[in-house]
Chain A
């Protein structure tokens, strides 16, 4: 069942990304995407014994984290709607429940208060519907624990960066309360100086007189700059490849990584030239999405191989790929020989490790 975790995550993140793009928290918008993707069908298929139950359990546990911080309010709403949709579409009786831990419950309550205050009636309604339908297990921990750590857990639990607000530490630090406090202290300080010296002594002007307004201004400027930058980045993204394409590319990169320990091959100069623009962006993704654990840059060999493969795919010549990538050919033949065993992960199957 664990093999389904990755594809389930991909599907849910696709739906959430589309919901994010609507810049809305309306259930109607969500429902439109849900129906367009025919998301209820995620449960379809000829079941093996107990498979449906185990799958329902898995998908609810994959989706739950999107309902909690650090995700943005909008993504959390999307996560809630997704839980609602999945809870109601599952094909087992009694239905599998959504697990909430005591630690996370205070976030859920804050979320509800925020939704009430912002008069997001549909959000509150859906949440309360889940409560009255007894859709939750009130637990100690978000998942059952077996004192067993799986190697891939780190990767699987990774936060989806696109769904998180850009960090705003300066803003968090300089709050209204904090500014008031500084203003008070500053006033007190000026008062003390006055009481000590009859005449104001310029030697004691160590701190700017308008400290608080200046600090406030600096934070505002930073905040504006950050916001503008994010906006322009988003515009860049929109001009670039779509989300779907980039995830496809990430998969491709993963497959390349697995087969790239073989031989180095020289590229023709013209191709090398054409590739220069594309590679850096893709490389960033390479280290971000495919090998989050390894901070190390991929080896020169890997990067070179990667360039070739992109090249091969781009110039619609599968044959081109094969010319230099012998291992790929072998790999494609291999499954035919060992026909009996199911290959869960065809893209990554030739990982030499």
Chain B
């Protein structure tokens, strides 16, 4: 049976190791946004041994490119983008201390293996629920690569941000488990 947890960032390995695929988590604290273009830059910095624009240890990276905020609001609509485009970068991020990713859609085996090896979690947020998810973000600040527009790296403060555990630290994959359960074979 799936459980519901409240977790506050930065995450610890105790936090991530208790989660199982299918659990629902409400996230609180700080998370960082990055899509393909920003990931490329971050991984280049890691490989060059240079300092990153934020502390990777225990961090959660949200794959999102929000709509522009209306005047007076921190952010516009902000649902997840499809994650496979980050597959080639995520293992490096996990290896260097990041413990969570939020996106939508399946990951490749290398990412799942990295989740197991480095105690990372791949969370799914509800794609297309951008208005709802945007409301769970209480502040947003561009901290790197403003030239990337919607793809710039942002520091977000979230309150009860709802996500589901897709890939846990044991190698489970909710997409496979869930689908197998409801698949009808003739």
Partners in one complex: no
On B, residues with C-beta under 8 Å from A are none
Mark A residues whose CB is within 8 Å of B: none
